[in-house]
Structure 1
Amino acid sequence: MSELANLTTMEVDALTDLDGGLNLTDGHARLLLSEEQATIVAQIPDMFVEATRRSFPSIETEAHTTFLAAIGQHSAPVGTGRILSCYSSTLATDIVARALPAGTTVALLHPTFDNIADLFVTRGLNLVPMSESALLDQDWPGPPVGAIVVTHPNNPTGLVTPEGHLRSLAEHAARHGQTIIIDASFRGQVRDAQYDSYAVLDAAGADWITIEDTGKLWPTHELKIGLLAYSERTRLPIERAFSESLLAASPVVLQLVTALATDWVNGGYDRARALVERNRRTVREAIGTVGLRLADPTSQISVARIELPPNGPDSSLLYKEMLVRGVHVLPCAPFHWADPAGGLPFIRVSLARPFDTVRTAARTLAQAYRELSAAS
């Protein structure tokens, strides 16, 4: 693993910057509440009252039903006990890592967010990279790989695993006795990713685990839920690992998820997409003035990679210069957890920010790159 600082450390530095630097690091929605969302948040005191009146299972089931339906997952095992509510998707990932037998060889999509790899290695698992090109070619790893991890859509590239490719992977895994693990934390942002993956996996007879996340969708200041769902076929001790970590998620936050998911299908999704795409355009325009381009022009998730040419400053240098100028972004070497040098030509910015913040940061990045290039 890389000796570089991990991505979450950089995100914490941005979040706790005492000088008030612009934070375009993490993929969480750090936006102003829409009018509709503000009305929902104003109802939180009533949700506290409701949490004492209603049973936890009824609140939880309603949240699971509403949220999963809002993102197209109609075959998810709601009401079976095989969906666990966690404080975050990161906690859900760690639970999965602890449930897998120590020493298991895991194929993990590459590049992807580094904390997945970090958590798995910490729990004694052996990682091998699976490239996005291998995924698109349906070149699936065989034994001794015991589990295959796909991020859908992938962070940072935005790659969506097509439905037919997931079906092929599920059939392959069923034949070889492998477990498919899907991190779908950004699924709610992208319609193309919202085909019913649970139906695909079950139809293929695969053993699967899926992690969903609400934290990338709404500006609720870490009031979020990570859902950990697993197949009827799995024999992994997921419930035991869950019980070692927490008792339950907050019934108040679950009610908040229900209300926000309802708004998501009643205009919330379209409002969020319009803002993200406006921000993506302003980044594209700003970096275009210095000859840079978006690395993933068809990506629909709320982050964007900027590609740097080989004859100029790389992302580690540009990242440091941006800090000097009061702007936090992410160099992409840590995303390339098996080959950090492969990420040096890319730097990532978050688009789930107010427009003025993104525009200022993008213009600052362009100016920093211009001046670094002139000095080299």
Structure 2
Amino acid sequence: MTEVVNLTTMEVDALMDADGGLNLTDGHARLVLTPQQSDIVARIPEMFVEATRRPFSEIELAAHKAFFSAVGQHTAPVGSGRILSCYSSTLATDIVARALPAGTTVAVLHPTFDNIADLMRTRGLQLVPLSEEDLMAQKWPGAPVEAIVVTLPNNPTGLVTPEGHLRSLAEHAARNDQTVIIDASFRGQVRDAQYDTYAVLDAAGCAWITIEDTGKLWPTHELKIGMLAYSERTDLPIEYAFSESLLAASPVVLQLITDLAGDWVNGGYERARELVERNRAVVEETLSPVGLKLADPESQISVARIELPQDGPDSDVLHKEMLARGVHVLPCAPFHWADPEGGLRYIRVSLARPFETVQSAVQTMAEAYRDLTPAR
């Protein structure tokens, strides 16, 4: 049986490393709780009690109100019944993939996290790439494309689709009877991505689906929610596909999200930004002396791509050497799901880690790259 290797299998290997290797793979927040977050987590027993006292619908509505407000989405359809709470954004993506008719042609942003493409291919959809260059040039796909997937901000590059560009895309989709699908899993980390996309999409009159996520924001060890929202114009069987997958998300986790969202707007965002930017700076400072640089210096999300020179080892070679030295990172070929060779000159690290972890890991990367590069 052929072993299937994708980004998630690499992330699982990092989590399961019995030797305690440094894990800079997944973009989840694997941080020490702040004092404010610790106070919230300490109230989890109370949340269990509340889950037996309060109706689920009331708890879910409070979580939706708090989260969407915290990330600037003030016209999201909160309270309409068109926001579904999932265990994760990956499950939400799979629900969307199952709701789309088999054989549908879908344009997917390229590069982006490979499980979006993998899930859609598994469900029988036909994929074509939408490059970041075409997105920024507002070159939108026509027929036979019936749905267009944009990741906002994009993972791994951090690209934020500007508001005007999203408006152009949504108006194009309305004219061409296409559905706009937005994966906004990293939205909460970037103010520039927090313009009200729901207002833009509704004003354009297109059918739309969005996926939001809390797992990238707070260090809650997989106690997270993926929120799947859709427009009144969307006639896909979203709710039926949802019902095939789960009954409901945990009311305890929903309460946790409500309180963490409250902290996010009361200093939590700034505290997280400070750590991420400190980590990004140490990556740049440590790798620059060996000729490596940040591929996306303007990125604000909690991952960073590192660009490798053409005359040195590629990311697959460096990745293997890093593993041998006890450090887990992600080679970027799988992000280029339609053209893996396009990612060979990039490697990705997570910044949502304690400073000492990032500092040690990138010091190892600098040493590994130097050892792999013949003296010139």
Which letter maps to 1:9? T
Quick check: 2:22–2:357 contact (8 Å CA) kept in 1?
Answer: yes
Give 1:288's aligned residue. 288
Contact 2:291-2:309 within 8 A present in 1 as well: no
Q: Residue 82 of structure 1 aligns with which residue?
A: 82
- 1:176 maps to 176
Listed one character per residue, the Cα deviations across residues 111-141 of structure 1 (whole Å, up to 9, x for unaligned) are 0000000000000000000000000000000
1:189 aligns with 2:189: yes
Report what 1:59 is aligned to: 59
Specify the SS of the correspondent of 1:49.
Answer: helix
- Aligned residues of 1:304 and 1:350 also touching (Cα < 8 A): yes
Aligned twin of 1:138: 138
TM-score by length of 2: 0.99
Q: Cα deviations across residues 122-165 of structure 1 (Å, max 9, x unaligned)? A: 00000000000000000000011000000000000000000000
Q: In the alignment, what sits opposite 1:319? A: 319
2:109 matched to which residue of 1? Answer: 109
> Quick one: distance in 2 between partners of 1:292 and 1:316?
15
Check the 8 A contact 1:4/1:334 in 2, yes or no.
Answer: no
Match for residue 202 of structure 1? 202
1:228 alignment counterpart: 228
Following superposition, the deviation at residue 374 of structure 1 comes to 2.3
Q: Tell me the residue number matched to 1:126.
A: 126
Per the alignment, in what secondary structure is the counterpart of residue 290 of structure 2?
Answer: coil
In structure 1, what residue type is equivalent to 2:55? S
Instruction: Check conservation: 1:184, 1:210, Cα contact below 8 A.
Output: yes
Q: Deviations over 1:197-224 (max 9, x none)?
A: 0000000001000000000000000000
Give unmatched runs, 5+ long, in structure 2.
none
- Distance across 2 between alignment mates of 1:375 and 1:339: 31
Q: What is the deviation of 1:229? A: 0.0
Match of residue 273 from structure 2 = 273
SS at match of 2:374: helix
3-state secondary structure, aligned to 1:209? strand
Instruction: Quote the residue 1:309 is aligned against.
Output: 309
| C-alpha separation in 1, matches of 2:195 and 2:354 | 29
AA aligned opposite 1:88: S
Matched-pair identity in %: 79
- Partners of 2:144 and 2:104 lie apart in 1 by 8
Q: 3-state DSSP class of the match of 2:146? A: strand
SS at match of 1:319: helix
Q: TM-score under structure 1 normalisation?
A: 0.99
Q: Deviations over 1:260-318 (max 9, x none)?
A: 00000000000000000000000000110101100000000000000001100000000
| 1:297 and 2:297 correspond | yes
Q: What are the Cα deviations for residues 46-77 of structure 1, in whole angstroms up to 9, with x where unaligned?
A: 00000000000000000000000000000000
Q: Give the equivalent residue in structure 1 for 2:253.
A: 253
1:294 is matched by which residue type in structure 2? L
Q: Which residue of 2 aligns with 1:351?
A: 351
How many angstroms does 1:97 deviate by?
0.0
> Residues of 1 paired with 2:375 and 2:258: CA distance?
53
Structure 1 distance, partners of 2:289, 2:89, is: 38
Measure how far apart 1:375 and its partner are. Answer: 7.5
Amino acid of the structure 2 residue aligned with 1:162: P
Partner residue of 2:43?
43
**Is the contact between residue 186 and residue 213 of structure 2 (CA under 8 Å) also seen in structure 1?**
yes
Alpha carbons of 1:4 and 1:49: their partners in 2 closer, same or farther (altered >3 Å)?
closer
Greater than 3 Å deviation, 4+ residue runs: none
**2-structure distance, mates of 1:200, 1:162:** 11
Q: Deviations over 1:62-95 (max 9, x none)?
A: 0000000000000000001000000000000000
Residue 97 of structure 2 aligns with an amino acid whose one-letter code is A
Contact 1:21 1:328 in 2 (8 A): yes
In structure 1, distance between residues paired with 2:126 and 2:313 = 34
Give yes or no for contact 1:47–1:255 (8 Å, CA) kept in 2: yes
Structure 1 Cα separation of the partners of residues 4 and 97 of structure 2: 22
Instruction: Please give the alpha-carbon distance, in whole angstroms, between the structure 2 residues aligned to 1:151 and 1:142.
Output: 19
Describe the SS at the equivalent of 1:300: coil
Amino acid at match of 2:141: P
Report the Cα distance in structure 1 between the residues aligned to 2:138 and 2:147, rounded to whole angstroms: 16
* Contact kept? 1:104, 1:126, Cα under 8 Å: yes
Deviations 1:297-341 (CA, angstroms, capped at 9, x unpaired): 000000000000110000000000000000000000000000000
Task: Provide the rounded CA distance (Å) in 1 between the counterparts of 2:4 and 2:206.
Answer: 36
On the 8 A contact 1:156/1:335 being kept in 2, the answer is yes
Do structure 1's residue 97 and structure 2's residue 92 form an aligned pair? no
Contact 1:315 1:345 in 2 (8 A): yes
1:340 matches 2:368: no
SS in 2 for 1:244: helix
Separation in 1, partners of 2:5, 2:296: 24
Matched, 1:214 2:218: no
**Aligned-residue CA RMSD in angstroms?**
1.1
Per-residue CA deviations over 1:145-193 (Å, capped at 9, x if unaligned) read: 0000000000000000000000000000000000000000000000000
Amino acid at match of 1:111: P
The question of whether the paired residues in 1 share the 8 Å contact of 2:276 and 2:351 is answered with yes
CA distance in 1, matches of 2:80, 2:306: 43
